[in-house]
Amino acid sequence: MSAVQLADGELNYLLEGPANAPVLVLSNSLGTDLHMWDNQIAAFTEHFRVLRYDTRGHGRSLVTEGPYSIEQNGRDVLALLDALDIRQVYFCGLSMGGLIGQWLAINAPQRLHRVVLCNTAAKIGSAEIWDPRIETVLRNGPAAMVALRDASIARWFTAQFASREPGKVEPVVGMLAQTSPQGYAANCAAVRDADYREQIASIRLPVLVVCGTQDAVTTPEHGRFMSERIVGAQQVDLHAAHLSSVEAGAAFSEPVLAFLTAQ
């Protein structure tokens, strides 16, 4: 693990793979850390130098006063690339990471080659969903994170996968219980306030939209909204709930790699 110094604290990152390979950035979902991508690293590092990081408010990265914004999180990615002297990258983000990918594709397209938007939407949820969660987390602190951990299993994974693969589910939901309540609430506000429905059609980069057919949070219909508005975008639907990278495993990695390595 390493860290870069931002203006207001340290951003934790991990860089793996061949030094001369193109760089692929992986961006985590709300309530997880860079280890949510552990399943993908062996396959992805065959083709890329993989740069994954803990989004502000998560893992070992800085926790600052909230609320945050997706723009702020996107600018953290640009600061990370600048600090590592990386000019252009491939990008894959899931859920909140997918919102960060949308912001980058709209506002900093010159820094990206190709973008994968996984289990995300141009707008995720509403204030009626996010505000009570923010209030509960700020009021109850770590106890609220443990309660969210238990509730998240049904949102993040299908019931069949959760019962069949507890060894894969427990480490990921455990990340949520360990997330800073302050950082989590601040990022809930970032997700709440992000809305790229009007801007998404301006994206001109190659984009792959990955959806989970059992994802009740960001549905395949949310995916189609994006893929129909981004010129040339492709969409793949996988049998999975919200964390398709974990649940689908190789079935996730294969189409993502095929897209990222396409000529």
Q: What is the pLDDT of residue 171?
A: 96
Place of tokens 């602190």: 141
Q: Where are the beta strands (DSSP E) in the chain?
A: 2-6, 9-16, 23-27, 49-53, 89-94, 112-118, 207-212, 234-238
SS3 call for 53: strand
Q: Which residue has the higher pLDDT, 1 or 229?
A: 229
Q: Amino acid letter at 42? A: A
Q: What is the pLDDT of residue 263?
A: 83
Q: What is the pLDDT of residue 235?
A: 98
Q: Is the pLDDT of residue 83 over 90?
A: yes
Q: Shortest CA distance to 76 belongs to which of 179, 1, 6?
A: 6
Range of the domain at 136: 2-260
Query: What gap in Å lies between CA 63 and CA 206, rounded to an integer?
Result: 33
Q: Is the pLDDT of residue 251 over 90?
A: yes
Q: What is the pLDDT of residue 3?
A: 94
pTM of the full structure? 0.97
Determine contact, residues 36/243, Cβ cutoff 8 Å: yes
CA distances from 23 to 78, 150, 158 (A): 13, 35, 32
User: How many domains does the chain divide into?
Assistant: 1
CB-based contacts of 190: which residues, under 8 Å, 6+ apart? 67, 68, 69, 70, 72, 73, 96, 99
Residue 219 DSSP one-character state: -
Residue 56 DSSP one-character state: T
- 166: which 2 tokens? 């507890």
- For every residue of 161-214, DSSP letters joined together read HHHH-HHHHHHHHHHHHHS-HHHHHHHHHHHHH---TTTGGG--S-EEEEEETT
SS3 call for 238: strand
Residue 159: phi and psi, rounded to 5, are: -60, -35
Q: What is the pLDDT of residue 150?
A: 87
6-50 pLDDT, tens digit each: 999 999 999 999 999 999 999 999 999 999 999 999 999 999 999
Chain centre to alpha carbon of residue 3: 19
**How confident is the prediction for the chain on average, in pLDDT?**
97
163-217 pLDDT, tens digit each: 999 999 999 999 999 999 999 999 999 999 999 999 999 999 999 999 999 999 9
CATH number of the domain at 88, please.
Answer: 3.40.50.1820
- Give the pLDDT band (50/70/90) at residue 78: very high
Percent of the chain beyond pLDDT 90? 98
Q: What is the pLDDT of residue 1?
A: 78
CA distances from 173 to 38, 156, 204, 222, 254 (A): 14, 9, 35, 24, 24
111-128 pLDDT, tens digit each: 999 999 999 999 999 999
Q: What is the pLDDT of residue 62?
A: 97
